Amino acid sequence: MSKTASIFAPINNFTAMYLERIILPSSGTEDEILYSSDSPIGTMKGLMKCHSGNLYPFGLFPERSRGMRELVLEFDSPITILYGGNGSGKTTILNLIAESIKAMRHSAFNKSGLFYDYLNSCNTETGEQCRKMMIITSDDVFDYLQRQRRKFEAFNEQRSRFSDEMSRRRAVYKEEAELGKGVSVDFDDPESIESFHKRCAIMKNTNSMLIVKKMGIDQKGQSNGETAIDFFTDQITPGGLYLLDEPENSLSPKMQLALMDFISMMADEFDCQFIIASHSPFFIGMNYASVYNLDADIIDLCDWTELESIQVYRDFFRRLEHTLSRREE
């Protein structure tokens, strides 16, 4: 496999590679598995596995490896990007790695009946032992966003009910005072009236402080992007191997840059290794990252600046360069 595309300098402080490579079967090996006398589809149970002729993930990669050879993906950088469009296989590779190394996951994933037959024909080679192995998907992030939203809504509803009750009690106190019940107020005496209003104001402030003490400040909630960043920073801890499936989903460009900086820091200073499926230009262009182009006729490392999507972005902003320059003046 060509190494010429490793165009980025290594991260200075990174000393360990937890996952060194994954080896996917050649077309010949796939045929042996599928069509031998004891193949997984040679029985009724096997036929049920591949209903409607679905042999996925068999047949997904061999035509894009080098001839009849196995497809070997080397992970010799602390950050590796799997780039490709929908159906290119980047998520499949992450799931194959995750299941092979028994990485933690939060949610189930879609797989065909032949997924584990294919997995058994793959090989992963590991290096240094790591503290944590985890795959994080878009579904995990969206589930977390929904949980946090429900939490904030429930909290604010409870706080609102508590505030309403304090206001009701204050109104009752004032009404009873005006009727001469409980509190002595001489409404013919300006000083007595002023003293009463001061007591009401003190009570109002006291109730407000009680609400804050009992319930906390009003939870305005964060943006989806800020909440998603919180999720990533909570899940990603030092000395771990992390498989991230399109982490840019739900993130604005500003938040993507924030997550990119966090990932770079964790790889650089805290011995983390990342394999990221993405087509975001921010992640594709990360310093130190090696990029596999899964859209290419032959899957291999590449110079990220030559990727089609990057060229589309570049051409788009070049057309706007005059307009952007004029607005900066």
Q: What is the CATH number of the domain that holds 62?
A: 3.40.50
> Do 33 and 125 have their domain in common?
yes
> Do 135 and 254 have their domain in common?
yes
Please tell me the predicted confidence (pLDDT) of residue 92: 95
Please tell me the predicted confidence (pLDDT) of residue 155: 62
Secondary structure (DSSP) of 249-296? TT--HHHHHHHHHHHHHHHHHS--EEEEE---HHHHT-TT-EEEETTS
> Do 155 and 108 have their domain in common?
no
Please tell me the predicted confidence (pLDDT) of residue 180: 52
Please tell me the predicted confidence (pLDDT) of residue 135: 97
Please tell me the predicted confidence (pLDDT) of residue 39: 64
> Do 127 and 259 have their domain in common?
yes
> Do 168 and 245 have their domain in common?
no
> Do 130 and 147 have their domain in common?
no
Please tell me the predicted confidence (pLDDT) of residue 210: 46
Q: Is the four-CA dihedral 316, 297, 294, 1 of positive or negative sign?
A: negative
Please tell me the predicted confidence (pLDDT) of residue 119: 94
> Do 35 and 103 have their domain in common?
yes
Number of separate domains in the chain: 2
DSSP H stretches of helix in the chain: 27-35, 44-49, 90-101, 115-119, 138-178, 190-215, 224-235, 253-269, 281-284, 308-319, 321-328
Please tell me the predicted confidence (pLDDT) of residue 32: 84
The 10s digit of each residue's pLDDT in 94-142 is 999 999 999 999 988 888 888 998 999 999 999 888 889 999 999 999 9
Q: Is residue 121 part of a domain?
A: yes
Please tell me the predicted confidence (pLDDT) of residue 29: 87
> Do 82 and 51 have their domain in common?
yes
> Do 38 and 136 have their domain in common?
yes
Q: What percent of the chain has pLDDT over 70?
A: 66
Q: Is residue 222 part of a domain?
A: no
> Do 49 and 131 have their domain in common?
yes
> Do 244 and 130 have their domain in common?
yes
Please tell me the predicted confidence (pLDDT) of residue 42: 54
> Do 136 and 158 have their domain in common?
no
pTM for the model stands at 0.74
Please tell me the predicted confidence (pLDDT) of residue 16: 60
> Which residues of the chain carry a pLDDT beneath 50?
1-12, 44, 51-52, 208-219
| C-alpha distance across the termini of the chain, in Å | 48
Q: Is residue 231 part of a domain?
A: no
Q: Is residue 182 part of a domain?
A: yes
Range of the domain at 26: 19-140+237-328
